[in-house]
Chain A
Amino acid sequence: MTSLSAPLNVEFDYTRSLGPVLGRFITGLRDRRIEGIRGDDGRVHVPPVEYDPVTARKLTEWVEVAAAGTVRTWTWVSEPDEGQPLTRPFAWALIQLDGADTSMLHAVDVPSPDDIRTGMRVRVRWAADPVGSMHDIACFEPGEAVEAQAGQGEAVTMVTTPVRLAYTHSASAEETRYLDGLREGRLLGQRCPVCRKVYIPPRGACPTDGVPTVDEVELPDHGTVTTFCIVNVPFLGQRIAPPYVAAYVLLDGADIAFQHLILGCDASSVRMGMRVEAVWRPREEWQQSLANIDHFEPSGEPDAPFETYSQHL
């Protein structure tokens, strides 16, 4: 059997405060000026470091360096990736700017690996529209420094870095059977061969015994509310107007509850032990998803005694 898999794209804009040292450095880049910081041994660090790497003392002496320097080492990128400085093949290099004693990493725009070498002279190509980030240096290019039109403005205090990572998320074999079951309107759990507990959704291993669960168990679509909360707070992406109830529902025959919505009654009438049944979406909308159950609603049966679910709270 082939396990289900799907693209999982993780995206987040990391917003970081720069602090006094990196803030001054990035503000400088925005204004087309490169500043380093002098360490206790006299070395000028570019990019600047906040504390001396040897003595750990806080550093404060700023030194302006040139917008040109020397390639100290390089490597070739034949297929540029998202977010990198150039979209055509380019070199990464560690570049020691004139006046600096350390090297900074950036891209060098040359047509081929034959056009770059260690020791080569390169200069900054400034971005046309600086925003206050490392990308305010568009890249480096062969040549010596030229006078730049300096800008000036508010100090840059924050930097935003968008991060986008693409994964293929795979379901386990057990989860795949469970998701395939849902598409047919079936609720498939699995029983641990050691402790006999029934898990839905099934897990790769019983959390008590650490062995794979193997026996498939079909469960009914009704059960008991074990615990719940009333959602009164609106939030981004909310599909239902509050107040509504999110509850743990223990299906009859299961040993683990899962979270779902309780609708079809006043939020204030939901209680522990309340008997509920699934309300399925129309069959033609069913997918490999628990969203096939739109919500649970009271079944009208008498409440379950506390002892029947007290071990599952």
Chain B
Amino acid sequence: MRDVAVVGFAQAPAVRETHGTTNGVEMLVPVFHEVLGALGLTKSDIGFWCSGSSDYVAGRAFSFIAAVDAIGAFPPINESHVEADAAWACYEAWVKIQTGEVDVALVYGFGKSSAGKLRRVMTMQLDPYTVAPLWPDSLSVAGLQARAGLDRGAWTEQQMAEVAARSRADAKSNPRAQVKGDVSVEDLLARPYLADPLRRHDCAPITDGAAALVLAAGDRARELAERPAWITGIAHRVDSANLGGRDLTASPSTAGAAKAAGLDHKVDVAELHAPFTHQELVLRGALGLNGSRINPSGGALCGNPMFSAGLIRIGEAARQISSGQADRALAHATSGPALQHNLVCLMEGRD
């Protein structure tokens, strides 16, 4: 295996609504400028580009093709796309570097969630024969999962609110966060339900955003970064699409991905892609994270740009390593309803 590291990361501000188009160009141009500029790279240094986005979020076909304008893709570039969170584009880019074909790859994701009614757009990812025709939305599916854990005693509304309060407090130091501030658990629990048993603080906000991350191999990574975040393992696994056929209070695919990625020691920090408070509790259980710092960025609960929020977890975890605040970090990304599909990326700093 080739040694591959995250050497650069940039993120657009997570905001409720941007005025740009759904093809993401306006959000991506400054993000590319920032991430390439910080590394002293130009587009000709990038051997492979890979993006994650969704035409359902954009409300138009082939929105990722229009997004390529932000790169300046003429003469032609080596490019690919996943209709999934860009964390999976990161996985593809990592594989591409493993083939030996390229040494440096740029991964990006974007989504203008505000363009449509996001909770309804997300229905399009459900089983199209027996579930989607009834139009349950993303909050309802998460609500079913949250209640399953509450009624079984796997977690409490208090613990869910504690996740929200901690996340918002941590997000105060994240200039890109959308939701931040000090709130008391008691105040949160006094607020009304949005989709009983979920309150507003249990759900990630609707966010427009984009992010980009640069991967590099071996010596190239050492040239580009003072302290590269070396990827020691990256893997993803999926659970059944049948919501009523699996235990919604557990995440065997997360545990499986972590095992495949080689999680066998404590990590200093973990960035978990949990768009709902109870999902962080599921993930912590599946990963056995005892004593690790969780989501110092505030996590997806404080800014959830669709199709880049998972990639941002990798970028934020890598930043903890490159800044010297952590030696070992775990990043997690999710896709699909109720944590169906999960990716785990382990990184370490080497001094």
With A75-B143, A170-B20 already in contact, the answer to whether A49 and B135 are too (CB < 8 A) is no
Select B196's contact among A18, A76, A173, beta carbons within 8 Å: A76
CA distance A45 to B246 in the complex (A): 11
Choose one: B23, B116, B133, B137; the contact of A167 (CB below 8 Å): B116
Q: Mark A200-222, 1 if CB is under 8 A from B, else 0.
A: 00011111111110000000000
**A183 at interface by CB-CB < 8 Å:** no
Which residues of the other chain, B, contact A75 by a CB distance below 8 angstroms? 139-140, 143-144, 146-147, 195-198
In whole angstroms, how far apart are the Cα atoms of A212 and B28 in the complex? 11
Chain A residues 28 to 63 lying within 8 A of chain B, measured CB to CB, are 45, 47, 49, 53
Q: Are B115 and A169 in contact (CB under 8 A)?
A: yes
A204 touching B43 in the complex, CB below 8 Å, given contacts A75-B197, A167-B116: no
Q: Which of B29, B124, B244, B248 is the one whose CB lies under 8 Å from A205?
A: B29
Which residues in chain B, 164-195, are within 8 Å of chain A measured between CB atoms?
193, 195
Q: How far apart sit A133 and B132, CA to CA, in the bound complex (Å)?
A: 11
Whether A170 touches B244, Cβ cut-off 8 Å, given contacts A81-B120, A85-B134, is no
Cβ-defined contact, B19 with A49, below 8 A: no
Q: Are A161 and B128 in contact (CB under 8 A)?
A: yes
In the assembly, what is the distance between CA of A101 and CA of B133, in Å? Answer: 23
Q: Which A residues between 138 and 195 are near B, CB-CB below 8 angstroms?
A: 159, 161, 163, 165-173, 175
In the complex, which residues of chain B have a beta carbon less than 8 angstroms from the beta carbon of A169?
Answer: 22, 59-60, 115
- B29 near A210: Cβ-Cβ < 8 Å: yes
Q: Please give the distance in Å from A100's CB to the nearest CB on chain B.
A: 9
Binds A, one of B66-74, B223-231, B306-314, B325-333: B66-74
A72 to B148, CA, bound (A): 7
Given A74-B144, A207-B68, residue A159 in contact with residue B116 (CB < 8 A) = no
CB of B306 to closest CB in A, whole Å:
14
> Cα distance A280–B71 when bound, in Å?
36
Q: Which of A94-127 contact B (CB under 8 A)?
A: 94-96, 102-107, 113, 118
CB of A77 within 8 Å of the partner chain: yes
Query: Are the C-beta atoms of A103 and B244 separated by less than 8 Å?
Result: yes
Q: In the assembly, what is the distance between CA of A18 and CA of B130, in Å?
A: 10
Q: Would you give the shortest CB distance from B339 to chain A, in whole angstroms? A: 15
Within 8 A of A (CB), among B96-127: 114-117, 120-121, 124
Q: Supply 10 A–B pairs (Cβ within 8 Å), ascending by A.
A: A26-B129, A72-B244, A75-B147, A83-B133, A104-B130, A165-B121, A167-B59, A203-B69, A206-B69, A208-B74
Taking Cβ atoms with an 8 Å cutoff, the residues of A that contact B are 2-3, 8, 10, 14, 16, 18, 22, 25-26, 45, 47, 49, 53, 72-78, 81-85, 92-96, 102-107, 113, 118, 133-135, 159, 161, 163, 165-173, 175, 203-212
Q: A47-B242, A105-B244 are in contact. List 5 more A-B contacts (CB 8 A).
A: A74-B147, A85-B134, A94-B144, A113-B196, A170-B19
